[in-house]
Amino acid sequence: LQENAKEEITSVDSMENLEKIRVKYLGKKGELTEVLRGMGSLSPEERPKIGKVANEVREMVESLLEEAKKAMKSKALEQQLEKEAIDITMPGKDVRLGKKHPLTQSMDELKNIFIGMGFKVAEGPEVETVYYNFDALNAAANHPSRDMSDTFYINKDVILRTQTSPVQVRVMERVKPPIRIISPGRCFRNDTPDATHSPMFHQLEGLVIDKGITLADLKGTLEVFAKEFLGSHTEIKFRPHYFPFTEPSAEVDASCFKCGGDGCSFCKGSGWIELLGAGMVHPNVLRNCGIDPEIYSGFAFGMGIDRLTMLKYGIDDIRLFFENDLRFLKQF
């Protein structure tokens, strides 16, 4: 019986069959159980001898079963591990890293340049009132930029801001001079999209108010900005201009760093590129904000971030920024 059991157990091939063997020998009607049950009919002398042998056989069969069970379990585990093994020598899949949008990169860079000069960053709402966007900025009641064809009106008093200049007013109303802030953000104009116009674009406003601020301070600040953003060989020049909220006002051009002044598609052969609008804050604007123009003076400037970024990277169409074409975005 022991020999048979041993042979069957060692050649078993599944848990199910192992269980069958256990039942066959040790189950209620098992062969060994029968033997143990038959002990009653044995003589008192035979009983302990046979009993001892039968118990030994039972222990033996039990331990064989246990061993076989263990072996089968570890074999199954091994097979599973082999099946699910990972070949760590295989080359990995590319992890594609996301990047900041080129406009966000420009904005970060611009912020760093001005923060380095002691400016703080201020924010204002994109949905703005006519008062902050036009009236407080000294824009005449019939100024053409107020027209529906230039400005998106929500209602007669509320618009999408056409410039970041209203943030100047909001800051001056709230903060006593000295003031030194920049304000980057989105602006909206009812412009037909083309290579250099988008109905949604980005500006960065700058404002400095203190005692004794002059045009020379404006010039020095913008020179540092232009050299840092476009390259140390960059020069700037001021052209007289008109803005309702500055007096005097200027448009500021940079020497065309793309061609070193020889003329190229960016400066159309002139050697200069328009960068931004700027000027000394108009006394009326200071008064509108409760600042005495007899005591304080200041300058302001506003630049188009989209156009500056186009210039810096040689991008020839503003619409590329907003089409989310990865082939374009991946290059920055």
Nearer to ligand FA5 by Cβ, of 65 and 291: the residue is 291
Neighbouring CB atoms inside 10 A of 325's CB total 9
Stretch that binds ligand FA5, among 6-14, 44-52, 222-230, 300-308 (CB under 6 A): 300-308
| Residue selected from 186, 197, 219, 227 as contacting ligand FA5 according to rule CB under 6 A | 197
**Residue pair 321/102 in contact by the 8 Å Cβ criterion:** yes
Cα Rg of the chain (Å, integer): 43
d(CA 13, CA 68): 10
Binding flag, residue 114, ligand FA5 (CB under 6 A): no
Contacts of 251 (CB under 8 A, 6+ apart): 238, 239, 241, 274, 276, 277, 278
Binding flag, residue 201, ligand FA5 (CB under 6 A): yes
Binding flag, residue 124, ligand FA5 (CB under 6 A): no
d(CA 306, CA 199): 12
Contacts of 32 (CB under 8 A, 6+ apart): 1, 25, 26, 54, 57, 58, 61
Counting every residue, how long is the chain? 332
| Residue selected from 138, 151, 246, 297 as contacting ligand FA5 according to rule CB under 6 A | 246
| Residue selected from 30, 124, 166, 277 as contacting ligand FA5 according to rule CB under 6 A | 277
**Residue 156 CB, nearest approach to ligand FA5 (Å):** 22
Stretch that binds ligand FA5, among 23-31, 99-107, 273-281, 322-330 (CB under 6 A): 273-281
Binding flag, residue 146, ligand FA5 (CB under 6 A): no
Nearer to ligand FA5 by Cβ, of 21 and 169: the residue is 169
**Residue 269 CB, nearest approach to ligand FA5 (Å):** 20
Residue 92 per-residue DSSP state: P
d(CA 177, CA 254): 30
**Residue pair 275/236 in contact by the 8 Å Cβ criterion:** yes
| Residue selected from 279, 280, 285, 288 as contacting ligand FA5 according to rule CB under 6 A | 279
Binding flag, residue 301, ligand FA5 (CB under 6 A): yes
Binding flag, residue 189, ligand FA5 (CB under 6 A): yes
Helix (H, G, I), strand (E, B) or coil at 299: strand
Binding flag, residue 160, ligand FA5 (CB under 6 A): no
Binding footprint of ligand FA5 on the chain (CB under 6 A): 163, 165, 189, 191, 197-198, 201, 203, 205, 243, 246, 276-279, 300-302, 304, 306-307, 318
